Structure 1
Amino acid sequence: MPINIPNDLPAARIFEEENIFFMSERRAHSQDIRPLRILLLNLMPKKIETETQLLRLISNTPIQVDVELLQTASHTSKNTPSEHLLKFYKTFEDVREQRFDGMIITGAPVENLPFKEVDYWEELCEIMRWSRTHVYSTYHICWGAQAGLHFHYGIGKYPLRQKMFGVFEHRNLSPRHMLMRGFDEVFWAPHSRHTEVRREEIAACPDLEILSESDEAGVYIAASRDGRQIFVTGHSEYDRMTLAGEYRRDRERGLPIELPRHYFPGDDPGATPIFCWRSHASLLYSNWLNYFVYQRTPYDLSQLEREGDMQG
């Protein structure tokens, strides 16, 4: 079954061109099943690009999914047309009384700021606190993973001497874990960040387990032992040319930026990168949706509050 999105969302036109199956709202509502409800908190500046990348991955499962797009009210986006935000995005006050099977919290280009200096930090903390009783499983990406690890478990965020930028080799540390089911022993995934979390802090937390890491990029995937919190420090959702776009943007701005590592063939920025992480990304999201959302979430979402209270 496909993802359910509005017909006039920009992603719909892209998915038609890519022959990706999606379902219109009208057709989805005529089916006598309960689709998964996924809340996407989009903190990235280019929201249309990010929502398209993530919706593409969410659609690659046999499960019907209804997606609600969420933005913070305490931050004004400068890189997404206001008409798009008004038409397709809600704020926390709009969804506060609702419950969701899953939530995705994206990264954000604010990793050099202390958490408390991010203008929407208090609002994000309120959303993450609310998610304990109103969302079954939350998937955190890059800075969103750092923010979630800090909020839920007190894990620190540390500056890197050089930006972690490129596509890196990772090891599957827990092949029997359901999130890692079907993964190769070694796989590739992109990173783009100026800060890191440290393995020793995560390993010292009894409620967390490290599922994948890289010799170059460090911890990649960690999860709470109950599967309610998933943390991914990279960007498996990135398209083939996303890192190239970031590299050229920073070069044009005169910022100190090195070539993304293991990305351009022969380190030639004019060469087309090999899209070597696409199957990993699809498997990661389908495993999360299947094993940690669809298979576990209560059919009656009102039960979430009681389970969240037990989670503490």
Structure 2
Amino acid sequence: MASSSPLKIGILNIMHDKVDTKKRFDYVLTRAQMPVELKYFYPKDHYQDRPVPPEVSAMAAPLELEEVAKLDAFIVTGAPIEKIAFSEVTYMAELHELFAFLEAKQICQLYVCFGAMAAANYFYGIEKHLLAQKLFGIYPQVIVNDSPLLAGLTPGFLAPHARYAELSLAQIKQTPELRLLATTAKDELFAMESRDGLQAYLFSHLEYEGDALLKEYQRELAAYPDQAQTLARPQNYFAQPASMQGPLFKWQEAQQAFFANWLQLVARHVRVSVTNK
């Protein structure tokens, strides 16, 4: 890849709010002062019994491995299905085919939230369990191991979390192929990486914009109005917590650093791959 050539990055968008998700990744990946070309995909098996919605087909292509082979890196987003067993996800077999292909082709990978859970389970057998209550809000992070992915981030950097499930920390620590990078003060996962540098696992929704946690809470409130008193509210997020007013974008610095660092790693991998050919 010539220095002026854009990095070709594929994104499997499996989030519920696909339009907003595309805007978020467009923003975080194009502001890093590195030329990129983004191509969005959707899992075909997700729509095997129904038409693909026009808003999905307008922004994304069906997942075809021949197209993935042309890319320098690939991202699998989160999805609000972490309560569901992996075996019950309708497109899990398609995800497994993608994971195996990315590994075989030595394409750089970034897995986010549920995508990270599914990939870590596939590659390393790391088990998922439900949390007693949703991890939801903005929390300071503890750096466990230094990594180029965390360059520019200082201990206590802030990051948003929004999930009902977690991977086994004990299993991760016992997996020699993985390096834990950062957690919350209560050992909830922020990020880890494979020791060969090809796989990055981000459990925080660091791609979220400032009002995304509020949107997520409002979506859940609309879906489960009878649970209004028990639904988790985003913590450490509002300027006026009692009234849930004034959401604050506290993780902007971490967002910018992490995605810029990941793109640098992708570019380095591409340069080495070209040199070795």
After TM superposition, the score normalised by the length of structure 2 is 0.90
Deviations 1:259-309 (A, max 9, x none): 21111224234411111101101110000110x2001224767x89xxxxx
Q: How many residues align?
A: 270
- Paired-residue identity, %: 27
Shift of 1:223: 0.3
Report matched runs for 1:1-312 at 5 Å: 33-76=4-47, 82-93=53-64, 95-96=66-67, 98-175=69-146, 177-216=147-186, 218-252=188-222, 253-254=224-225, 255=227, 256-290=230-264, 292-298=265-271
Shift of 1:39: 0.5
Deviations 1:228-276 (A, max 9, x none): 1111111011111111112122223323412211112242344111111
Q: Secondary structure at the match of 1:88?
A: coil
Read off the aligned partner of 2:39 and give its amino acid letter. E
Counterpart residue number, 1:21: none
Change beyond 3 A, Cα 1:224–1:94: closer
Counterpart residue number, 1:3: none
Change beyond 3 A, Cα 1:97–1:60: closer
Distance in 1 separating the partners of 2:273 and 2:115: 28
Shift of 1:153: 0.7
Distance in 2 separating the partners of 1:97 and 1:233: 23
Distance in 2 separating the partners of 1:300 and 1:181: 23
Distance in 2 separating the partners of 1:169 and 1:217: 11
Asked whether the 8 Å contact 1:191–1:217 carries over to 2, the reply is no
Q: Secondary structure at the match of 1:62?
A: coil
Deviations 1:148-184 (A, max 9, x none): 1101111000011101111111012234x21111111
Read off the aligned partner of 2:76 and give its amino acid letter. I
Asked whether the 8 Å contact 1:236–1:281 carries over to 2, the reply is yes
Long gaps (5+) in structure 2? none
Deviations 1:4-62 (A, max 9, x none): xxxxxxxxxxxxxxxxxxxxxxxxxxx99421110001010111100110110101222
Long gaps (5+) in structure 1? 1-30, 305-312
Change beyond 3 A, Cα 1:269–1:115: farther
Counterpart residue number, 1:9: none
Read off the aligned partner of 1:190 and give its amino acid letter. P
Asked whether the 8 Å contact 1:102–1:135 carries over to 2, the reply is no
After TM superposition, the score normalised by the length of structure 1 is 0.80
Asked whether the 8 Å contact 2:145–2:179 carries over to 1, the reply is no
Read off the aligned partner of 2:254 and give its amino acid letter. H
Q: Secondary structure at the match of 1:100?
A: coil
Shift of 1:198: 2.2
Change beyond 3 A, Cα 1:114–1:32: closer
Distance in 2 separating the partners of 1:244 and 1:259: 9
Distance in 1 separating the partners of 2:258 and 2:193: 13
